[in-house]
Structure 1
């Protein structure tokens, strides 16, 4: 089975987008985000910027593999599932992660009904993502290789042959090198270092 070893995310915040329906205004924003603290910061900034708005609805998703995905959708006072889930649906539709989308609503005096709200939040989220720069990145595993200085050439040759990226290195009598390996190549790299006499390799937590 081929494991998925890439993911899509944003390089930077999108430009503000605006969707209007029956006098209601919906401002949309997409941000790269990897934790709830960042979500909080972006929401606080938008609440200051749009202090007279009625709703700040959002959805986010963090994580790069199925086992570590986290998501949340928030309706912020709108009818259940009329705002947060339509926004989250666009995160899924664009297949992006480590992302936060916020839609700020100014009520225009005319009720849109649940169908109208779903459409407005979905469309604004879609516009925000269309206005974002989306990139594909690889999912990598990190390993630490430990060896004596005399084995340096063997280790370096393997790193070069496998085109592996060195993240950190301490080259003294006892050497340690941290490498980053694309997920699909990780097992092969691990086994090739494991097979060298007097060289230890262990996986690091990302």
Structure 2
């Protein structure tokens, strides 16, 4: 992935009951097809007496890999609804398995579609969503005389501070959104009249919480 994107805050599980049938939505962040398949298999093994373990998953920057399965439910009533919820919520690199324990009352095609959709959407709400923001590690080394001024600037601009090292000078490790690296360097240089040195590190993803939502999902651009 080379862009910001939305995904699950963490792996998790949520259960709903519909007309005596139990629908358990298990959710996981994934990065490969093998991880998705392993998660699906682990969920099956954890529910050996379940009637169905229907699933869907998305992989890749542009959802290049999309898989779904009805696992014995009528065609199009389980896997596709699960997949559509993942797509509508704009999540990426995620796998959802909805396990059903049949309660004796048939729901019909429309009822099944709603049940699997609701189980997935409520599971996502319960687990939470984050935006994965691509950032660059940046080390700023300043004198002790300039440290308070730098620290105040970082606080005022809500810059993520990863670590601070105190030696002959002070080195502050920060994480900056990739497009903002040059602007941050310029701003700090101007602030401290050039009395700062920079060391640009690696790019990495940082998770930023996204408020709970249902249908009005912010995108990850």
TM-score, normalised with respect to structure 2: 0.60
The offset of 1:17, in angstroms, is 1.9
Aligned to 1:143: 137
Any gaps of 5 or more consecutive residues in structure 1?
none
Cα–Cα, structure 1 residues 133 and 105, in superposed 2: closer, same or farther, change >3 Å? closer
Aligned to 1:56: 53
Any gaps of 5 or more consecutive residues in structure 2?
205-221
* Cα displacement string for residues 71-103 of structure 1 (whole angstroms, at most 9, x for unaligned residues): 643216457654333112212334455654211
Aligned to 2:167: 172
Is contact 1:193–1:200 with CA below 8 Å preserved after alignment? no
User: For residues 190 and 49 of structure 1, what CA distance do their matches in structure 2 show?
Assistant: 51
Give the 3-state SS of the residue equivalent to 2:97 in structure 1.
strand
The offset of 1:56, in angstroms, is 1.9
User: For residues 13 and 123 of structure 2, what CA distance do their matches in structure 1 show?
Assistant: 6
TM-score, normalised with respect to structure 1: 0.63
**Residue number among 25, 28, 47 corresponding to 1:29 in the alignment:** 25
* Cα displacement string for residues 98-149 of structure 1 (whole angstroms, at most 9, x for unaligned residues): 6542112356697955x6654442233234335x1535557362322254xx
The offset of 1:47, in angstroms, is 1.8
Stretch moving more, 49-58 or 192-201: 192-201
Cα–Cα, structure 1 residues 156 and 68, in superposed 2: closer, same or farther, change >3 Å? farther
Give the 3-state SS of the residue equivalent to 1:17 in structure 2.
strand
The offset of 1:181, in angstroms, is 3.2
User: For residues 109 and 55 of structure 1, what CA distance do their matches in structure 2 show?
Assistant: 15
User: For residues 47 and 193 of structure 1, what CA distance do their matches in structure 2 show?
Assistant: 54
**Count of matched residue positions in the alignment of Structure 1 and Structure 2:** 193
Does residue 128 of structure 1 match 2:129? Answer: no
CA RMSD across the alignment? 4.3
